[in-house]
Structures are given as structure tokens and as C-alpha cells.
Structure 1
Amino acid sequence: WTFVWTVTAAGATHICLRKCEPRAVFELMAAEQVTTLCAAPTVLISLANATENLRRLAPKGIHVITAGAPPAASTIQRLEEDLGWTITHVYGLTETAPFITVCEARAEHAPLPISERAAIKARQGVELITSGELRVIDTQGNDVPHDGVTQGEIIARGNVIMAGYYNDPKATENALRGGWFHTGDAAVVHPDGYVEIRDRLKDVIISGGENISSVEVEGVLLRHPAVQEVAIVGFPHEKWGEAPHAFVVLHEGATADERELCDFARAKLAHFKAPHSVTFVNELPKTATGKIQKYILRAQR
């Protein structure tokens, strides 16, 4: 996310790990006097959920840059509250500069309760002045209202957007139609202008004609004390067409059953958004950069 060369250009030190292990991360931070951590949300989840004796090793005052997937507000809150770290969420794609938005901290956020600040920090934020233009549009190409509810697709243009896909003019034409890069990310815009991704368009679950954001449901389940990681996908349903299904990794030594987690979600969401079923797994399939591979989970239908 640009830090490969900016850290080098500043004459600072890179500290790289082949595998994310909380003890190694915390001990190296202290030994090497680390000030900044770049990590995908899946890495932050493992650090936030480390045992208490390991979390005591974590130095205070670390500035964290996170991207790669929408982070859960509960993860942000735990890192800032328990470890004394500061989280900055940025957003970009392979087809753009490493990030084209930043969730900028503003003075009016400071007096808010930590839970509200964390919810704001989980948003993708506002466009960077150096990264051109960014909009959220409906299917007719109109900007969505800034109501935090109406969903559209994030599009962007500027000198940080790719020229095209290598040897694939058809895909290039489709992605850059109308002179804008179409990201495939479904998002809303809040009244303060902050963009918040609700899902990948391909991951939106349509149940009984209602759109369900898998990211929203995942964020709720991550607040359950037994849940370490979760991924929500749509499974076929005889009545509703599709229904949310949860793949859940529990904390070591924790217990929970399907009914408990479904009821927990129903208590905090519109009932149609709650998972209809749960599969408990030891780990979720991920890419090398920590993104959950939902297509693998959907193939288990």
C-alpha cells in the first residue's frame, strides 16, 4: 500500500514476517521500536483476539494502516481500547493507486463514544485529493443520496487508474465504461460525505427480494464473545431464493452453537438479515494478502 517504497525512501526500517503470530508481532514491535503497522483486517483480528498475556506485550501508541477488506468496528474498538493503538482505514484496488480514499479523523469525532468512533473508522472515508474523483452511483449512473442507506457502486477516475487489463480489451472496456473505473464495490454515502462499503456487488445476498450486506452481518457476529472470524455467503433457499449462511471460526476454548449465533444476530439485525444456518470451521480460506475467498465457501452449497 505504497509503504514498500515510502518507508524505504524515508530511510526507515521494514520488518517483515512470513506468518502472522501475535507473540512475534508484539515482541518485534517492542524490540525494533516499531511505530507503524500495515495489516489487513484478518491480521488485526488475530492480534485483537490474542490472549491477555500476549496482549500485555504490545507497545502502546502504534499507528495502524488497514486495508484489503472492510474492517469490523468491533476489531477497531478492541485494538484502540485495549492496546492503545490508532487505526486508519484506507481503500484502493489493484486497478488503482494503493489507496484512493482515507477515513480521515476529524475533530468532531473525538468526543464521540469509542463505539461510535470505531463505526466511523470502519468506513472507507473520503477521496484523496491526489487520487482524482470518486463517486457512488445507482444503476442509471446517478449519484446516490448522502443518506447512509441507498446503495450504489463506487466508481473512480483520475491519473491513478489503470490504463487497462493486459491483453484483455473486452474486460478493459467493461471496467472503464463511460470514462470511469467501475470497482464492483457496493457502498453508501453518509451525510458527512464518508463512503462505506456494504459488500462486493457479487457478494450481496438477495433474499426474498431484499438485499443483504454480508459485511454488515459479519460485523454483528464478530461482536459475539465466542466468534473469532466469520464469513457470510448466500446459500440457495426454497422459499427466499437465497439466505445468509455463516462460516464461523470460534476462539480457542470457546463454545457456541448454531441457534445461539443465529439468535444473537436476529437480536441486532432485521430478522431477514440473520443467518439461517452456521458451519463451524477451523479456519477460513484466504488469499496470500488475507482476503477471505468466499467463492470457495459458496462452492460448499
Structure 2
Amino acid sequence: MPNIYEQDLPQAEANYAALSPLSFIERTAEVYPRRLAVVHGSLRRNWSEVFTRCRQLASALERHGIGKGDTVAVMLPNTPAMVEAHFGIPVTGAVLNALNTRLDPETIAFMLDHGEAKVVLVDPEFAGTMKKALTLRKATTPVLVIDVEDAVFTGKAEHIGSITYEDFLATGDAGYAWKLPDNEWDAIALNYTSGTTGNPKGVVYHHRGAALAAISNILEWDMPKHAVYLWTLPMFHCNGWTFPWTIAARAGVNVCLRKVEAQAIFDAMRDHGVTHYCGAPIVHGLLVNAPDAMKVGLPQGVKAFVAGAAPPASMIEGMEAMGFDLTHVYGLTEVYGPATVCPAQDGWDKLDVGERARLNSRQGVRYHLERDARVLNPETMQPVPMDGETMGEIMFRGNIGMKGYLKNPKATQDAFAGGWFHSGDLAVMYPDGYMKIKDRSKDIIISGGENISSIEVEDVLYRHPAVLAAAVVAKPDARWGETPCAFIELKAGASTTAEDIVAHCKKHMAAFKVPRAVVFGELPKTSTGKIQKFELRKQAGSAAAIDV
């Protein structure tokens, strides 16, 4: 028999609504219509104008036949259209697929087919890549290609679509009725991983997770209303760690940036009073190592998130010298970007920089609205001792987790085995409850915030006619955090050069995956012939770098 709290207390429209980050822009446009929302070059738009454009985009898509469960792909840099895509596409019930602009046409073609994209928005800078990708598609279903022109782009613009973005918006209704999903479990975005063997896996986000991740960003940063956020982090990367929705929730300012360059970043910070930004270690290192003359007049107290590799002491010291506040976060595509954070405790600021670096290098504790994140023994699924020594695997459970992998039930089942999402990252747990990664079970190399599968690079190396055996490990890099280092054993009588190996790799993979160091010699192996990568990791640090 139901308890008294289950009798005559119905869930209804009056007391329940599905969680969705799409509600954030609707409220902000109502409450702060004239507040600045987007800055891009000389362009300025307030929240009322941005919301109107999102409604026009949604209406135009619906009039083109786009609806629930359809995929709309975008290949855009951090521009106003990319902000609008995060609202105008999913409000129709369609799913936003933000494509990594660094990828090659072959990979883009696979994603378009696998995600069954019906519409593609493309920036002129990437028109050549998209043009080739469209010819490489195996699917025969038609795709509407929309050219997104950008006044800030100074290169030669190639139009490959049948209509421009502005003309497409003009076909939409500015009074389009903003509607939220009935089910918060509905898909909102599709993001492809780059850290696995074979074809990338399609990670599907839901409205509930996107909303709670976006709110968690606010909580972790104590982000105030009207924060001024600089887009150094690509919006194609885990939907910009859900920050397009976060900024809308805070009625903040999206300061768009086409290219990540030190001068442009510092200028934007001074000109617009930037308060927050995110990035991989390479971005923060770029700023720390910039000439002092560039740093004159910077706003103080700028808050920065760093993820991808632990911040070294030199970076912490350099950020403090600029008056910036650096916070280390950790996550994966499958958990919407950051899902743990390393918050500073009382007294840490009084420690020397080396000790602060040690403490801040840890992956930390779970995000506010993530149900749980901890280090478990993958065999027993029990927590490891909190001794800072016993190794286990970082696992997550709760709301900030993907629906699963698109069209890949086996991978989804494996990822969620035992009721937890398995990150594949091996770590320890300290007595204070903070986690720290010690190794990566899948040999993933994180370079400039992008995942590179060592096995994928090895597969390409094995295609070289002179290569007998190959192994790829991470080489520490001051700029990128890590880069691939290739160890190669040649066939008897064969000869080649490091430059030839690099040229071979460039033909078969995206540039950021190409090894930046190549070492020739016999590879260390176990008695069963397995290559001993742990021995190679010891050597990688001293391997000579190549200008790729």
C-alpha cells in the first residue's frame, strides 16, 4: 500500500518540468534583455537579440523538416553562430553534433554518416575539409550545407553550401515558441571521442546532464551574474565543457575568439574586462611565457580552469604573477568535460609553490551535482584504501554522465559495467579524499587538451614498409602537455629517417596526432614478445623533438 506521500499528490505540469539548459537563455532574455551577450570583433549583441536569432534558427530548421532525433552537425570555431547553435538546434528536438575542426576529412565523413547528419553548418575556414568530407560519405541521403560567413575571418572564403547562414535565419520566425523537452532524458548533443582505437565513438548527452553540468560550473567557480567569459576553449570540445549554457544561466558575456593567440587573448581581457576562461595547459602556458610587455594592464583576479594535464609549479607561479586564479579540473567526454575539481583548502595559499603544485596536481573531488566519483578496484568494484598508494580506476556515477555510445550497445554496456562509468584512468585516493591519476590504462596521450590513441598512431606506423615494430608513448612537452613519441624497430636491411616517418604519418592522420619525436632501435620486450612500454616511457623524456 502506498505511503501517505504517494496518495493524491500527482506529478503534473504545475509542479514538474524536465531539466534542460535551454531554459536558461529564455529566462535571461526575459530578465536581462539589454545586457551584453556576445562580443565578436566589432559585433555586439544583447541577450534579447541572441535569443531572437536562436528562435529564428529553430524555426528555419523546423521548416526544413528537422525535428526530434535528427542530427545537425556544425564545423565552426568560437563564433556567435556556434553560441546560437547550442540553443537553436536542440530546442527543435534535434541533436547538436559539434565537429572537431582539427580532424581530417575522412574522420569527418565517418561522423557525418554515423550520426546521420541532415544539416551541416560550416565556417569558411573549414570549407575545404568539409567539401572533401562530403564527397567521402558512404551514405546517399542528402545533406543541407549552410555557409556561416564571418566578418572577422580574413582568409579566402569558399562557399560550398546552398544558402548562407544569415539567409537561412531570415526564413525563420522570430516569434518561434520556445519549447523545452517533455523528457529530460532526450538527447541534446552528440560528441565524438578521439581517444579510442578504430572509429571514434559517439557520446550522447541528455538535457538533464547538460543542465546539471552547466550549473555545477557555476557552483565550482562561484560564478557571479554577468561574468565575462573568454572563449579560448573550443566549443566543439564537450560542448565547451557546457559553458555556452552556463554563460546563458548567468546572463554573462560570450567573448568570442577565432584563434588562440597570446596577444589576442590579452587584448580581449583588457578591452572587455574578462573574468573567466578555460583551457588546456598549452593555453595557460602560452600566456605565462608571453613577453611581459603583453601583460601590462591586465585585469586582476581572472579565474581560469585548467584540464588535460596537471599544472606544474612554473605554471602556478606564472599565473599568480599575472594575478590569475587557477583551478585544476578533470573529466572526459563521457562526463560532459570536467566532472571533478581540485578546490583549494584553507592554508594552501601559505605553502611554498612546490607543495601547492603537488596538491593542485590532483584530480580532486566530484563536481557538486555529480552523484559520485571515486577510485575503485575494477575487479571487486570496492573503493581502494585512501593511502595515496593503492592503484584503482577512477569511476563516475550520477547525473553528469552520457546516455551511452551511439549505435554501440556493447561499448555502452562495458563502460557502465557494475553500475559505474569506467574512465580507464588509473589513480590513487589520498586520505583527504582527493584523487590523483597515476597512469592511463588505455595509453591515451593528452596533447593540448585533445586525446590521442597511441594504438591508432601505431597502426599508421606499421603501414610504413620499413617498420617491423612500433610503440607510441607520451613525451612530456612544455607547450602541449604531452605529445606522441614513436619508438620504431626497422625490418632487417631497411632504412628510413625520422622525417620520412613524420611525412608518412601526416598522410594518414590529423596533424596533432603525428609523433613529434621518433627513436629508432630494438624495442624492449617481455619473454612473450610484448613491448614493454613502461621502459619506453622512461626514455621518452630525453628523445629529441622534431619540428612537425
TM-score with structure 1 length normalisation? 0.70
Deviation digits for residues 147-176 of structure 1 (CA, Å, limit 9, x no counterpart): 223322111111222222111111111111
When residues 122 and 274 of structure 1 are mapped into structure 2, their CA distance, relative to the original with a 3 A threshold, is same
> Aligned AA for 1:126?
V
State the partner residue of 1:297.
Answer: none
When residues 191 and 177 of structure 1 are mapped into structure 2, their CA distance, relative to the original with a 3 A threshold, is same
Aligned-partner Cα distance in 2 for 1:109–1:92:
23
State the partner residue of 2:295.
Answer: 55
When residues 66 and 228 of structure 1 are mapped into structure 2, their CA distance, relative to the original with a 3 A threshold, is closer
Aligned-partner Cα distance in 1 for 2:543–2:388:
29
State the partner residue of 1:64.
Answer: 304
Q: Does 1:278 align with 2:543?
A: yes
Between Structure 1 and Structure 2, whose CA radius of gyration is higher? 2
> Aligned AA for 1:5?
W
Secondary structure, counterpart of 1:92 in structure 2:
strand
Secondary structure, counterpart of 2:271 in structure 1:
helix
Secondary structure, counterpart of 1:18 in structure 2:
coil
> Aligned AA for 1:50?
A
When residues 233 and 52 of structure 1 are mapped into structure 2, their CA distance, relative to the original with a 3 A threshold, is same
Deviation digits for residues 221-253 of structure 1 (CA, Å, limit 9, x no counterpart): 74xxxx77543657365445435799xxxxxxx
When residues 243 and 179 of structure 1 are mapped into structure 2, their CA distance, relative to the original with a 3 A threshold, is closer
Secondary structure, counterpart of 1:110 in structure 2:
helix
State the partner residue of 1:86.
Answer: 325
1:58 is displaced (CA, Å) by 3.6
TM-score with structure 2 length normalisation? 0.40
- Cα contact 1:203–1:233 (8 A) shared by 2: no
- Counterpart pick for 1:77 among 316, 321, 326: 316
Q: Does 1:106 align with 2:345?
A: yes
Show structure 1 runs of 5+ residues with no match: 206-213, 247-271, 284-301
> Aligned AA for 1:121?
N
Aligned-partner Cα distance in 2 for 1:202–1:235:
18
- Cα contact 2:485–2:540 (8 A) shared by 1: no
Show structure 2 runs of 5+ residues with no match: 1-240, 446-472, 489-521, 526-530
State the partner residue of 1:138.
Answer: 377
* 160-169 vs 92-101, which moves further: 92-101
- Cα contact 2:317–2:353 (8 A) shared by 1: no
Alignment of 1:148-159 (within 5 A): 148-159=388-399
* 167-176 vs 115-124, which moves further: 115-124
State the partner residue of 2:242.
Answer: 2
* 187-196 vs 53-62, which moves further: 53-62
Aligned-partner Cα distance in 2 for 1:244–1:74:
25
- Counterpart pick for 2:357 among 118, 123, 135: 118
Alignment of 1:242-281 (within 5 A): 242=532, 273-275=538-540, 277-281=542-546
- Counterpart pick for 1:182 among 422, 426, 431: 422
When residues 243 and 96 of structure 1 are mapped into structure 2, their CA distance, relative to the original with a 3 A threshold, is closer
Deviation digits for residues 239-287 of structure 1 (CA, Å, limit 9, x no counterpart): 45435799xxxxxxxxxxxxxxxxxxxxxxxxx835375131335xxxx
Aligned length: 242
Aligned-partner Cα distance in 1 for 2:541–2:249:
51
Aligned-partner Cα distance in 1 for 2:300–2:532:
44
Aligned-partner Cα distance in 2 for 1:204–1:93:
12
> Aligned AA for 2:271?
A
- Counterpart pick for 1:231 among 483, 491, 502: 483
